[in-house]
Structure 1
Amino acid sequence: MASILMAASEGLPFIKTGGLADVIGSLPAALSDLGHEVKVVMPLYKKIADKYMGDLHFTAEYTVSINYQEVPVRIYSKMVDNVCFFFVQHQGYFERDTLYGYQDDGERFAYFQKAVIEMLNQLNYWPNIIHCHDWHTGMIPCMVKETHDFDARYRSIRFVYTIHNLAFQGNFGPEMLDSCLGLPYYLLDNGNVRFDGGISFMKSGILYSDKITTVSPTYSQEILTPQYGEHLEAVLNMRKYDLWGIVNGIDIKLWNPATDPEIPYHFDKVNLKAGKALDKKSLQAELGLEQNPDVMLVGCVSRLTWQKGFYLMMEQLAAISNAPIQLVILGSGESKIEDAFRELENSNKGKIAFYKGYNESLAHRIYAASDLFLMPSLFEPCGLSQLCSLRYATLPLVRETGGLKDTVAPYNEYDKSGNGFSFAAYNANDLVHTLYYAADVFYNRKEDWDTLMTNALNSDVSWEKSARTYSLLYNELMGQ
């Protein structure tokens, strides 16, 4: 079994902006259950410090060089179940109102990565594998291999790099190479870290890691093409024989309709229909929808961005509002999409509800109460929402891309198989056609719909299978 350090920019139960945090919150524990020793390191953000500082254990103090100055690092730690979480403290870099989106993001995460590399030396902790996640940690394999190769302790470490979303790459000016990362300029000249006139943390992670993973088998193939490769497809094709697609899971204890404290009525396979009907009635009352147990309730919980396919919906708002459904949308994002949904609600009171923002508790109730869950993404590396909806026997309606294609099997009216509905082309007419088709099954083929709900409830959305695949990957790297 392996000793693994996961380096990431966020993770539950401490802080979350996206799906990466869910992975860091669940995968280490699942790997620990298989016998691996797993530790996690992330920045100590303001929200973490405000909530947890009294529970953190001071672990180490040292300095790293940034902009030709020695900058102090303090390491804190906390055990969660069997996983040790390390936190890199620098108040100036990390104790801010939000996690990302600053002018000095490159410098902030260069500091974080340098702090992680030196932490190993300071703690005399030498994992077999460092598992780096997304662009924020992409330079760690490069810096270790280029600047610590003389040290056998560092040389023995193997690297796994996981791409959660190729669209966010960590691209910065070339001047950072020397000043913040302490790397020689010939890496720019020979192309190892060069990208679009500057440097790319993600490209470096792809080139320098021993294995690369992404969060679904289909997405691992899609990113080898110009359509999905975000200008890194040539680099990825160089490493395609080391590229694994491993679908994410969800925390099935947290997302459990039989015990979820956020939903008013609990259900399992015994009282599935009755429990969901009560949750639907409760949500309809909460959001001011007509309390009708027989109408198909369609839910949507998402960031409202172009990636998530909402421009398709905006092309067909009239057809969607005329459909024999109720619609609940929870999310925030692009103002153009928010405005369209607010207007849709105003002109369809009692039928359509739009909640701007994010409300974790309400999200649980939408998953539990809805009959259908809408997720028409342009691209989706893995997606977690469709997994949550399956866990609550809510049938996902998805576009066949990335992890959506890998986890949602479309309804087959001949053998009654499937756990949802899907369409292939990124086309608004196909989305509306599939929505109306799902409504037809809901209203006119009740027995088939009941079978699909049972299929959804029985879908394996846990981390167990995925953790076993990661375990195979680690063992392969270690020659076991």
Structure 2
Amino acid sequence: MEKLRVLYVSQEITPFLPETAISTIARKLPQGVQEIDKEVRVFMPRYGCINERRHQLHEVIRLSGMNIIINDNDHPLIIKVASIPSARLQVYFIDNEDYFKRKHVVNDDSGKFFEDNDERSIFFCRGVLETVKKLGWVPDVIHCHGWMTALMPAYVKKFYGDDPHFADTKVVYSVYDNGFAGSFDKKLANKMKFDGFSENELSVLKSPDFVNLTKMAINFSDGVILGSEKVDAKISSHLKETGKPVLNYHNEETYVAAYNEFYDKVAEEMLVD
């Protein structure tokens, strides 16, 4: 029997960025699941603050060179890769001069939320999916971490909905209490209309703040994991209304095994569909 293939997509991973709840899970989880019985691939953005020399990032020429159109503008996709030898993991990085060259992650020098974080998110999500296609690697499960990945479930199910590469792929979204003040660009819904989303599907993004982005992610996911002990009450309420399969919070001692079993459960539903 072939190993289940899990694609990890995270907005942050240690040691490339400082340790946080998300960056630590996104580092340890793929290793743990790979050691149990899964085949994994790992992706994150190549923020300008990441030290390429220290972490030995290098460009993968055969995967780079594609253009991704966002809001009717072309943006070149650059793919880089680095290894975490102690974990026997390779990490792929999505890069672009317009979106990721800046030296800060999501806020500018004054702490202001970048105005184009919505487009950075779209570029990252689509860049991952296009790269996975080029790799010829078909994921059974995509597990998303952090609000930078909140649009991933929608793009897998809608924009790539007719793509045979992702026809049977299930998406799991981890909900964390890593909210942000303010919101994405109010024109986000209009930008996504270019990619074939309907008014009804985008209605939740009329006010594209953290809570509504999370609701959007939940709407298009096949399963949801509570990555934090406490999450926003509005998100919890919406999650119950959807009736999606949910894995409750697990601490660092138990989450690897619990998540691994949850992937199997979600994948089994794929076989039943």
TM-score computed with the length of structure 1 as normaliser: 0.49
- Percent of residue pairs bearing the same amino acid type: 21
Aligned to 2:204: 194
> Which of the numbers 138, 143, 149 marks the counterpart of 1:131?
143
Q: Contact 1:177 / 1:183 at 8 angstroms: preserved in 2?
A: no
Which of these two proteins has the greater Rg computed from alpha carbons? 1
Distance 1:18 1:6, change over 3 A: same
Aligned to 1:38: 40
Matched, 1:92 2:98: yes
Q: Contact 1:2 / 1:128 at 8 angstroms: preserved in 2?
A: yes
| Partner Cα separation in structure 1 for residue 55 and residue 187 of structure 2 | 35
Matched, 1:28 2:30: yes
| Partner Cα separation in structure 1 for residue 182 and residue 154 of structure 2 | 14
| Partner Cα separation in structure 1 for residue 262 and residue 166 of structure 2 | 20
Post-superposition offset of 1:473 = 0.5
| Partner Cα separation in structure 1 for residue 32 and residue 251 of structure 2 | 12
Q: Contact 2:8 / 2:43 at 8 angstroms: preserved in 1?
A: yes
Post-superposition Cα deviations, 1:148-206, rounded to whole Å, max 9, x if no partner, equal 222222111110000121634984345223436743452xx325552454474322111
Post-superposition offset of 1:73 = 0.4
Q: Contact 1:40 / 1:85 at 8 angstroms: preserved in 2?
A: yes
Aligned to 1:459: none
Q: Contact 2:68 / 2:127 at 8 angstroms: preserved in 1?
A: yes
Residues matched between the structures, number = 255
Distance 1:117 1:55, change over 3 A: closer
Post-superposition offset of 1:211 = 0.3
Aligned to 2:111: none
Post-superposition Cα deviations, 1:254-289, rounded to whole Å, max 9, x if no partner, equal xxxxxxxxxxxxxxxxxxxxxxxxxxxxxxxxxxxx
SS at match of 2:15: coil
Aligned to 1:235: 238
Matched, 1:117 2:129: yes
Map residues 65-464 of structure 1 onto 2, 5 A cutoff.
65-80=69-84, 81-101=87-107, 102-165=114-177, 167-168=179-180, 171-179=183-191, 182-184=194-196, 186=198, 189-190=199-200, 192-195=202-205, 197-198=207-208, 200-215=212-227, 219=230, 223=231, 228-229=232-233, 231-249=234-252, 462=253
Amino acid at match of 1:205: A
Name the Cα RMSD after superposition.
Answer: 2.5
Unmatched 5+ stretches in structure 2? 108-113
TM-score computed with the length of structure 2 as normaliser: 0.83
> Which range is displaced more, 133-142 or 50-59?
50-59
| Partner Cα separation in structure 2 for residue 52 and residue 207 of structure 1 | 39
Unmatched 5+ stretches in structure 1? 250-461
Distance 1:99 1:181, change over 3 A: farther
Amino acid at match of 1:245: N
Distance 1:110 1:169, change over 3 A: farther
| Partner Cα separation in structure 1 for residue 14 and residue 174 of structure 2 | 17
Distance 1:213 1:12, change over 3 A: same
| Partner Cα separation in structure 2 for residue 170 and residue 155 of structure 1 | 35
Distance 1:110 1:55, change over 3 A: closer
Q: Contact 2:5 / 2:38 at 8 angstroms: preserved in 1?
A: yes
Amino acid at match of 1:97: K
| Partner Cα separation in structure 1 for residue 182 and residue 130 of structure 2 | 22
